[in-house]
Every structure is written in C-alpha cells, then in structure tokens.
Amino acid sequence: MAYNRTYQISGEASLDTTVTPQSDLISDIRSIEGITIVTFTPKNEEESAASNPNHLGILSIKFDTFPFTEFDKDIQINNLVNQIRKIPAVNYFKAGQVNILETRLKSLVKEILLEKKTKRDRCLRIADRKFDKPSAYKSGAVVRCRNGSIWKGIKEGEDFDLDESLRDWFKKEDWVRIDTAGNITGPCGTMKKGNKTTRCLPRAKANSLTKAERASTSKKKAASDKQFVSNTKKAKVKSNK
C-alpha cells in the first residue's frame, strides 16, 4: 500500500473559458481531493486564454495520496481523471503517463535538511571545513568572522590557513573554563575527553561576572546539545577588531 506517494499526471486538454475563466477552472480542479498542484501550459502561447471555447494545452496535476485511508492507484487515478472530465468547462482531458514523484516522507526529510542547511550561515560553514570537531577555537572563529574581523575575503570553496590573529586573540584574552556551579576551573580546552562541554570565557570577562552569572551561562551551554550556544546577556563577549 502506498498511502504516502505523490503522483504527477499530465496530458493534452481543451478548456472552454467562455464557460469558466481559466483561473477559476484551475481552482475547481485543485479543489478535488488529493490534488495539490495544477498547471496548464497553452499549446499556443500567443493565443488568448480569455473567452476561448477551445483553449488547447497540457494539463499537469500533482496528486498526493495522504488524505486517503485506502488507496488503489488505478481506481483512484481513474476516478480523479473522470472528475476532471466532468467539469463543464473541460472539453476533454487525455491523461497520459502517470509518474511517481517521491514518497511524502522523503519529501519532508528533504525540506527539513534544506531548512537546517540554510540556517548555517557563511561563517559556520567555513568553520565546519576548517575545524574537525567543536572547540573554543572554532567558536571564537565564528564570533570573529561574524564581527568582520577574519575571513572577509575567503570564499567558501577555497582552502585557507587559520588566521594567526585568532590564535593571538585566544592567547591574549586568556580563555578559561567555567563549570555549571560558576567556578573557574582552568584553561579553556582542558576538559577530560567524553565529558559534556561547559562554557569558556576570557578570564577578564569571567572575573567581571558574579558566580551566579557565570553559572547561568555555563548551565545554558551544558543544557543544550547544539555546538554553538549563545552566552547569556550578562556574559556576552565582544571581539576587538
């Protein structure tokens, strides 16, 4: 049973737009259960669609099976074609080849993956190529890239070396690791392998916060499965260009 497939049906058709305007006729066809998309391509592009008793072209429809609890391909498609033919303004519809486009599940997965991909901005995509795994260096690079400090002229498809100023920035700022209790527990990047990543901050910034404020931003990081988690408002770090 294929209750989650999408089919495309195309064929030559003749429409009588003296009975119903083409736009209204397309809406009538689309109102048939299961039909999601309807297009009509005129045979003669120069021919007017208005008040034409024999407007020739190719009618193409996409038909989704998900509304049906029971579905027999041949029976349901024949019923659908007959419903189209019974519309008064349709002179005839010669349904041609029926193509399976893809399963609805596959379509949804593609949409989700595309959405996730578009949410990763240029700086994240460049950092993904440069760094093999999450790290304070990677997070810092993304911050500086977004601020316009590094990678201004880097194209996403070309190779490049890590900007030395990024290493200098980390050394100069003396980044330290903050645990979820708000304690400064050592240099950034010294956590034991396998432990859940906590927050890193420049030492000066960490010392300017109260223990509760440090704990708050660290807990926010530890509670998320995402690689990049923004600091709390109090713990925001500004990069000097």
Domain ranges in the chain are: 5-108, 120-235
Mean pLDDT score, 4-14: 85
Q: Output the pLDDT for position 240.
A: 54
Tokens of 142: 């993304």
Instruction: Specify the pLDDT at position 192.
Output: 64
Q: Tens digit of pLDDT for each residue in 195-231? A: 666 788 888 888 999 999 999 988 888 887 766 677 8
Buried b (16+ CB within 10 A) or exposed e, 154-164: beeeeeeeebe
Distance CA 71, CA 3 (A): 6
pLDDT at 29 > cutoff 60: yes
pLDDT score at 164: 47
Instruction: Output 167 or 87, whichever has higher pLDDT.
Output: 87
pLDDT of residue 72: 77
Starting at the edge strand that comes first in sequence, how are the strands of the sheet with 90-103 ordered?
35-42, 55-64, 5-15, 90-103
Residue 155 has pLDDT above 70, yes or no: no
Q: With bands split at pLDDT 50, 70 and 90, how would you rate the model's confidence at 110?
A: low
User: What percent of the chain has a predicted confidence (pLDDT) above 70?
Assistant: 69
Residue 149's pLDDT is what? 76
The mean pLDDT of 141-153, rounded to a whole number, is 77
- Asked whether residue 80 carries a pLDDT value surpassing 80, the answer given is yes
Question: Averaging pLDDT over each range in 6-10, 31-35, 57-61, 118-122, which range is the top one?
Answer: 57-61
Q: Between 46 and 192, name the one with better pLDDT.
A: 46
pLDDT value at residue 151: 76
Highest mean pLDDT among 31-35, 62-66, 98-102: 31-35
Position 193 pLDDT exceeds 90: no
Write down the CATH superfamily of domain 5-108.
Answer: ACT-like. Chain A, domain 2 (3.30.70.1150)
Confidence check: pLDDT of 156 > 80? no
Q: What sign does the dihedral 86-87-93-99 (CA atoms) show?
A: negative
pLDDT reading at 139 higher than 80? no
Which residues have a Cβ under 8 Å from the Cβ of 145 and sit 6 or more positions away? Answer: 122, 123, 126, 127, 151
Q: pLDDT band at 128, cuts 50/70/90?
A: confident
Beta bridge partners of 64: 6
pTM, to two decimals: 0.41
HSE at residue 119, side-chain half, CA atoms within 13 A, is 7
